[in-house]
Amino acid sequence: MALDLDSIRADFPILSRRLEGERQLVYLDNAATTQKPQVVIDAMNDYYANTNANVHRAVHTLAGEATEGYEASRTGIASYFGAPRDNLIFTSGTTEAINLVAYGWARANLGKGDVVLTTEMEHHADIVPWQILSKECGIEIRYVPLNRETMTLDMEAFEIAVEDASLVCVVHTSNVLGVRNDVERIIKLSKLHGRNGKGAHVMLDAAQAAPHERICFPELGCDFLALSAHKMGGPTGIGALFTTTEIMETMKPFISGGDMIETVTLEGSTYQKGPHKFEAGTPRIAEAFGWHAAVQWLDQYNMKEVHAHVSNLARWTAEQMENIPGIHIYGRHDLETTSGVVSFLHENIHAEDLAHLMDAGGFAVRTGHHCAQPLMEALGVSSTARASFWIYNTKEEAEAFVNHLRGVVDRFS
């Protein structure tokens, strides 16, 4: 069954927004953040209008409803990812989730002699925490290179490097290339050969994967899964780290204060068990309600169909763009698994100029290094322009985009 795009689009109020000169917005910056369906906006508004109270503390009616709703969100979101509720630690997003792995788990469990294996394809969120930690506790970071021919990870290099690795941190789907790494194989190899045969821990950065495929945390078999709500129709400011109860017990909190303790005396404190140990302070309550609404909204659709739709749009667009003189595309749009991202440059129009010229036609695309400077270096560029599609984008929008781009190249190159 094809997706009913009219009905999907009708759920997103922002898509009917007109820009300067009554131009229709064509939103193609979904890899940065997706738009939000009305149900998400309503869930958050309704929470503030009718329920707002702090959670886990007071006995009054509102506090009870807020706590119930917040914890129901944890259950609902966890179950969307096939996981029990106590595997979900709320964070501010993927970035904080990865930092929690670094400061909560790695700092407590790794040290001199341990290798953290990551890749050239990572977002800065999966590079910088390791660099800081390596200065602090002597872990060594190694990077699996990008195969510049195939635009995929060099899996031969991975197979060799994984043997020494204690922790493997890999981006599930690249925010620049749209390429999906073979995470199943990466996990398998890490478990079989990592840490010299004892098995390495694996962290997946699934920020760009969750909007594209149904991820089942227990089925994947990784140890840590980092996500952001805002890239899958949910609000900004919230995300999650999924990990198991056993691993949580080996982790130390890296943000501390209220809500995460059992008892506090002036001599010391004992901590809550499970996810709460890592959720100090008043949590993101409205955001949890919003994210819960987003996964319920997404749950109406078969993610295989969503992926096929988005990936076909990107593939079609990339193919058309190949025919525009001077345009270079980065990525692999011939692969079925590639997401909705098309990174491109023009030989003699600067990426930033391109983005402005596209914006003048109502097309929201992004330019820059996409927080992946090592990958830019591997590609031999300093930035790219990037169009990224999601569930509500249409073939007409893709056509209009290609036409406007063709016009821009005609006029400005």
Partner 1 sequence: MNEWPAALQEIIEDFRDCFDRMERYELLFEYAKRMPYPLPIEDWTEENRVQGCQSEAHVECVIDDDDRFHIHGAADAQLVQGLMAVLAIGVDGLSPNEVAQLTPKFVDEMDVKASLTPSRANGFLNLFEMIRAEAEKHAK
Instruction: Show the tokens assigned to 115.
Output: 């290798």
Q: Is 119 in the site for ligand PLP (CB under 6 A)?
A: no
Site string for partner 1, 75-94 (x = CB under 8 A): --------------------
E strands, 92-144, in order: 115-119, 140-144
According to CB under 8 A, which one of 53, 157, 247, 360 is a site residue for partner 1? Answer: 360
> Which CB, 241 or 409, lies closer to ligand PLP?
241
How many residues interact with ligand PLP (rule CB under 6 A)?
13
Q: Are 293 and 42 in contact (CB under 8 A)?
A: yes
CB of 378 to ligand PLP, least distance (A): 15
The closest of 218, 243, 208, 215 to 97, measured between CA atoms, is 243
Q: Verify whether residue 371 is a known catalytic residue.
A: yes
Q: How many CB atoms lie within 10 A of CB 233?
A: 28
Q: Is 93 in the site for ligand PLP (CB under 6 A)?
A: yes
Q: Is 343 in the site for partner 1 (CB under 8 A)?
A: no
Q: Alpha-carbon distance 364 to 349, whole Å?
A: 17
State the residue for tokens 């990865």: 98
Q: Is 377 in the site for partner 1 (CB under 8 A)?
A: no
Q: Alpha-carbon distance 253 to 275, whole Å?
A: 10
Q: Alpha-carbon distance 238 to 294, whole Å?
A: 12
CA atoms within 13 A on the CB side of 96: 18
Strand-by-strand arrangement of the 88-91 sheet: 88-91, 239-242, 224-228, 201-205, 165-171, 115-119, 140-144
Q: Is 34 in the site for ligand PLP (CB under 6 A)?
A: no
According to CB under 6 A, which one of 34, 35, 73, 94 is a site residue for ligand PLP? Answer: 94
Q: Is 118 in the site for ligand PLP (CB under 6 A)?
A: no
The closest of 292, 321, 273 to 87, measured between CA atoms, is 273
Q: What is the signed CA dihedral for 322, 232, 116, 342, rounded to 10 degrees?
A: 10
> Which CB, 110 or 170, lies closer to ligand PLP?
170
Q: Which of residues 13-42 bind partner 1 (CB under 8 A)?
A: 20-21
Q: Is 380 in the site for partner 1 (CB under 8 A)?
A: no
According to CB under 8 A, which one of 51, 173, 228, 367 is a site residue for partner 1? Answer: 367
312 contact partners, CB below 8 Å, separation of at least 6: none
> Which CB, 166 or 367, lies closer to partner 1?
367
Q: Is 388 in the site for ligand PLP (CB under 6 A)?
A: no
Stretch that binds partner 1, among 231-239, 304-312, 330-338, 356-364 (CB under 8 A): 356-364
Q: Is 357 in the site for partner 1 (CB under 8 A)?
A: yes
Q: Look up residue 137 and give its DSSP letter.
A: H
Q: Are 223 and 242 in contact (CB under 8 A)?
A: no
Name the maximum alpha-carbon separation found in the chain. 72
Which sign does the torsion angle of CA 184, 190, 191, 197 carry? Answer: positive
E strands, 9-114, in order: 18-19, 23-24, 26-27, 88-91
Please choose which of partner 1, ligand PLP, none residue 171 contacts, taking the beta carbon within 5 to 8 angstroms, the exact cut-off set by kind: ligand PLP
> Which CB, 96 or 397, lies closer to ligand PLP?
96
Site string for ligand PLP, 222-261 (x = CB under 6 A): ------x----------x----------------------
Please choose which of partner 1, ligand PLP, none residue 207 contacts, taking the beta carbon within 5 to 8 angstroms, the exact cut-off set by kind: ligand PLP
Q: Which of residues 171-230 bind ligand PLP (CB under 6 A)?
A: 171, 175, 205, 207-208, 228
Measured between its terminal Cα atoms, the distance across the chain in Å is 42
According to CB under 8 A, which one of 41, 72, 128, 349 is a site residue for partner 1? Answer: 349
Summarize as ranges the residues that interact with partner 1 (CB under 8 A): 20-21, 349-350, 352-353, 356-357, 359-361, 367-368, 383, 411-412
Active site residues: 371
Summarize as ranges the residues that interact with ligand PLP (CB under 6 A): 93-95, 123, 125, 171, 175, 205, 207-208, 228, 239, 371
